[in-house]
Structure 1
Amino acid sequence: MSILTFLITICIVVVFHEYGHYVAARYYNVHVERFSVGFGKVLYRRVDKKGTEWAISMLPLGGYVKPLAEPRPNHPDYQVGESVQEKTAWQKVVIYAAGPTFSFLLGIIIYTFTFMIGEQQPEAIVAEPAEHSIAANAGIRAGDKIHAINGTEIYSWSEALEALSGPMTLGQTVNMQITNKWGEQKIVNLAFPPYTGNLEHTNLTKLSGLALATPTPIVQEVITGGPAEKAGLQVGDTIKAMNGQTIAQLADFIQMIQESIDKNITLTVSRHHQEVDLFIVPTIVTLEDGRTVARIQARFGANYPMTYVQYNPIDALIKAIDKTWDTALLSFKMIGKMVIGEVSLKNLSGPLTIADYSGKVAQHGWITFIQFIALISISIGVLNLLPIPGLDGGQMVIYSIEAIRGKALSDNLLRNIMIVGYGFLFLMMFFALSNDINRIFQ
């Protein structure tokens, strides 16, 4: 699944990015020799009326566009002005900028489409924050419902997390409009400290004391032959208490079970409007990370208060543009913090992490998967805008300097710049792949 979804993601993202270069090149009458989906040996090719070879190649790891780089006056089909070298510096800047622009455009298209379709999402109702946490100190209490963050209306928990992700990561203050469980409205300010460590497996929302309120746990599945079945637990039972302690949150209940290593469990459940006590002897298991936990071999869920979040085409487009902008801006800021050492380089991810996550998000449905494609496309756009020779952004800087100077940089200087640029790219890939491998072994 991970390999398949990775190939789908990379092909869509890279081909759309390269199509941006193709459109800009053709706009300035640059001859495009080949547009290939995939790399390596060509399996299928077709030449259009303009002489461009459209190809499908053996290795489905994206694709590439090959414009005519230099004039070829001795070629019988060559026309003056068809090469990139013959274009003005600003035209070259546009050609290189078109790739990242199309990457952002793909993100906007996907987000607009998914926002128009809409989906059921949990309402933004928070659980009791941990004592002395940022949320608790700000005055947030169990049952508070979030209505707006920094003036942006919030309709679901997902939208709340989206609005908070940037401020929590960068260390910013947010203004939050909420209604408590008695219907009283209030405004709170949350000041998040900047996070400098590894964001992998770090739940900044939980660290801030914010968590989605979960209703009383309900038994969704009982494993045959397990401790829960032997004790008489049934699908549909509502968990009321464990060892005499009232259960309010699903996550707390799961944690209580896992920590019951040296003791038996007494569950009080509601079944057909009657309370029943069940005595369970948990199974002890060792996890992959070496931790020992208790299990009763049953699956639990909760009936969250849900709301259907859907936008009309105009609002969907505006929200998509805002989301793409916010995602790209956060990425640029995170890269800047990594460069100056404020954020760990362990946050860099490479193709192995993309493959892993693509497989995981695909299990949550096709809407989640294509939104992941949008995220990767935006990330590719950000990466290529970095002013590093060898990337689109680096080439844009070079040709911008050429336009301002009125003449090209010397070949020797360009050669040295490219050596430094590719060296930096090699280091980035080294760190990204090292992080990927460490994640796999961990």
Structure 2
Amino acid sequence: MSNFLFYLAAFALILGVLIIVHEFGHYSVARWCGVKVLRFSVGFGRPLFALRLGRDGTEWALGAFPLGGYVKMLDEREGEVAAHERHRAFNTQPVLKRMAIVAAGPGANLLLAILVYWLLFFSGMEELRPILGTPPAATPAAAAGIHNGEVVRKVGATAVATWQDFRWELLQQGMDGQASDRQVTLEVMDGQQQIFMRRLDLSSLAEQGFEGDPLAHLGVIFFRPQIAAVLGTIAPGSVAERAGLQSGDRIVAIDGDVIELWPEAVQKIRSAAGRLLALTIQRGEQRLYLEVIPETHEERGLRIGRIGVGVRDPGPSREDVMVTVRYGVGVALAKAVAETWDKASFSLVMMGKMLTGEVSWKNLSGPVTIADYAGQSARMGSDYYLKFLALVSISLGVLNLLPIPVLDGGHLMYYMIEIIKRGPVSERVMEIGQQIGLALLVLLMAFAFYNDINRLISG
């Protein structure tokens, strides 16, 4: 239950910030344009809380249904407007002012993403280095000749410093060109500082889509250190000490299953809490057979087994696999703008490919999946949580700019038509558009909820 509440709180915070920022964009530009704002609401439905503030007595409300919000402005189409306030009604404003007010919501979401990225780039982010692991057999990465421990320096002509940069460049390359001819050259460096070129076939991204982890389709995985299952420290009074295990012992097998690397031994022990395990141990020239019953411990709500041993060679240090990325004020701002532009463009391309059938609709996520990712990113640390906030903010901004009636982009479409035809769109056309737009949104939400439920069932 505590885990559920944590994830819910992480999701609620992101949702609240995005709604407030979006609606404040509309509110602030409306006020700047001289339009009277009657209500600023976070959430829909019956107000749970309301407070009137300011010269205009604007009502600040919290609605019962929190998935959204709105800014209600003085408007002759929605009620009677006094003659002395007609100049402050939304519908009486010049079309360019109306466009600015409507565009300000999505614009605020995009500006929020720029601000978050700028803060992260300026303050410094700790990221994984782009170190490759041994690819599974019969995958494009295996065919490219990638070896464990190789560090990626470039994807095509683009230099990469982090695993996230590497992943992003691969995804962008995978979206370009013809589906059957998507290949990219990786410049990699091995442990002896030798440079190699690996030609990676990306066509499987088009064939299998972007659902789940797209890099897994390619066989591209992160570095896995080859740590031998040799015991180092033995905790005094532990299960291991009582069983007769010693520092320097090598675990050869557990319950008859051959153990080659330390992570395999750890997984076996962790999954056997309170259950007898038969260990095959190599001690010098001797082959020993010992039995242990891992003690049960609680870790994040899960029961795991421990016997009280540490590995002799822990493998690479944190500094070996992590890198801190930090830029000056100006460079950080430029990179923040570029990052937001790239993510927004990628979102539009993905939406377009969904419409053409090149990308599966299974990639569409609803509130349950977003809440899950929000909780996961929050557990990973503030940097990851803020990056997820920026990503969702970009998605919200792009979605609202789509030319679908009901959304901000639909209203902008009407105003563009008004400019071209030198007159407003008829009420009847707008009414039909609203119905079509609402139907499209309901269909979109249905797809998203279906995908959420399917992910919960299938895991």
Q: Which of the residues 401, 406, 414 maps onto 2:417?
A: 401
Deviations 1:126-177 (CA, angstroms, capped at 9, x unpaired): 1223344322333432322112324443222233223323334666443433
Residues 271, 305 of structure 2: 8 Å contact kept = no
Greater mean alpha carbon deviation, residues 325-334 or residues 190-199:
190-199
Please state whether the residue corresponding to 2:440 is helix, strand or coil: helix
Question: Post-superposition shift, 1:21?
Answer: 1.4
Deviations 1:270-294 (CA, angstroms, capped at 9, x unpaired): 9xxxx997746799xxxxxxxxxxx
- The alignment status of 1:12 with 2:17, answered yes or no, reads yes
Q: Which of the residues 20, 30, 34 maps onto 1:29?
A: 34
Structure with higher RCO (Cα < 8 A, 6+ apart): 1
Match of 2:376 in 1: 360
1:130–1:417 distance in 2 versus 1, CA, 3 Å:
same
Residues 106, 377 of structure 1: 8 Å contact kept = yes
Q: 2 CA distance for matches of 1:207 and 1:255? A: 25
Greater mean alpha carbon deviation, residues 169-178 or residues 400-409:
169-178
Deviations 1:170-206 (CA, angstroms, capped at 9, x unpaired): 6644343322222122344423113455755x33223
Please state whether the residue corresponding to 2:380 is helix, strand or coil: coil
Question: Post-superposition shift, 1:62?
Answer: 4.5
Q: 1 CA distance for matches of 2:250 and 2:214? A: 30
Greater mean alpha carbon deviation, residues 210-219 or residues 345-354:
210-219
Match of 1:288 in 2: none
Structure 2 spans left out of the alignment, 5+ residues: 1-5, 295-303
Q: Which of the residues 147, 150, 153 maps onto 1:144?
A: 150
Alignment of 1:164-243 (within 5 A): 164-168=170-174, 172-193=182-203, 194-195=205-206, 197=208, 199-200=210-211, 202-215=212-225, 216=227, 242-243=252-253
Greater mean alpha carbon deviation, residues 429-438 or residues 20-29:
20-29
Q: 2 CA distance for matches of 1:96 and 1:307? A: 41
Equivalent AA in structure 2 for residue 49 of structure 1: R
Q: 2 CA distance for matches of 1:232 and 1:119? A: 45
Alignment of 1:189-338 (within 5 A): 189-193=199-203, 194-195=205-206, 197=208, 199-200=210-211, 202-215=212-225, 216=227, 242-243=252-253, 247=260, 250=263, 264-266=278-280, 279=290, 297=306, 303-304=317-318, 305=320, 306-338=322-354
Match of 1:438 in 2: 454
Match of 2:364 in 1: 348
Equivalent AA in structure 1 for residue 224 of structure 2: T
1:213–1:267 distance in 2 versus 1, CA, 3 Å:
farther
Residues 148, 224 of structure 2: 8 Å contact kept = no
Match of 1:83 in 2: 89
Q: 1 CA distance for matches of 2:21 and 2:287? A: 59
Residues 169, 204 of structure 1: 8 Å contact kept = no
Deviations 1:102-141 (CA, angstroms, capped at 9, x unpaired): 1111111111112222243332221223344322333432
Q: 2 CA distance for matches of 1:188 and 1:71? A: 63
Question: Post-superposition shift, 1:7?
Answer: 1.2
Q: 1 CA distance for matches of 2:83 and 2:102? A: 25
Deviations 1:37-86 (CA, angstroms, capped at 9, x unpaired): 34432524132134433344555545321122327997558434322211
Q: Which of the residues 420, 437, 441 maps onto 1:425?
A: 441
Question: Post-superposition shift, 1:296?
Answer: 6.0
Match of 2:74 in 1: 68
Q: 2 CA distance for matches of 1:126 and 1:327? A: 24
- The alignment status of 1:382 with 2:392, answered yes or no, reads no
Residues 232, 278 of structure 1: 8 Å contact kept = no
Structure 1 spans left out of the alignment, 5+ residues: 284-294
Question: Post-superposition shift, 1:357?
Answer: 2.0
Equivalent AA in structure 1 for residue 135 of structure 2: P
Q: 2 CA distance for matches of 1:228 and 1:168? A: 49
Q: 2 CA distance for matches of 1:239 and 1:81? A: 85
Residues 227, 296 of structure 1: 8 Å contact kept = no
Question: Post-superposition shift, 1:428?
Answer: 0.7
Greater mean alpha carbon deviation, residues 123-132 or residues 318-327:
123-132
Please state whether the residue corresponding to 1:363 is helix, strand or coil: helix
What is the CA RMSD across the aligned residues, in angstroms? Answer: 4.0
Q: Percent of counterpart pairs with the same letter? A: 33
1:6–1:164 distance in 2 versus 1, CA, 3 Å:
same
Match of 1:290 in 2: none
Deviations 1:210-232 (CA, angstroms, capped at 9, x unpaired): 22223227889999x99878756
Residues 39, 71 of structure 2: 8 Å contact kept = yes
Q: 1 CA distance for matches of 2:233 and 2:392? A: 35
Equivalent AA in structure 1 for residue 167 of structure 2: L
Q: 2 CA distance for matches of 1:238 and 1:57? A: 64
1:208–1:116 distance in 2 versus 1, CA, 3 Å:
same
Match of 2:297 in 1: none
- The alignment status of 1:116 with 2:129, answered yes or no, reads no
TM-score, with structure 1 as normaliser: 0.81
Equivalent AA in structure 2 for residue 379 of structure 1: S
Q: 2 CA distance for matches of 1:15 and 1:327? A: 22
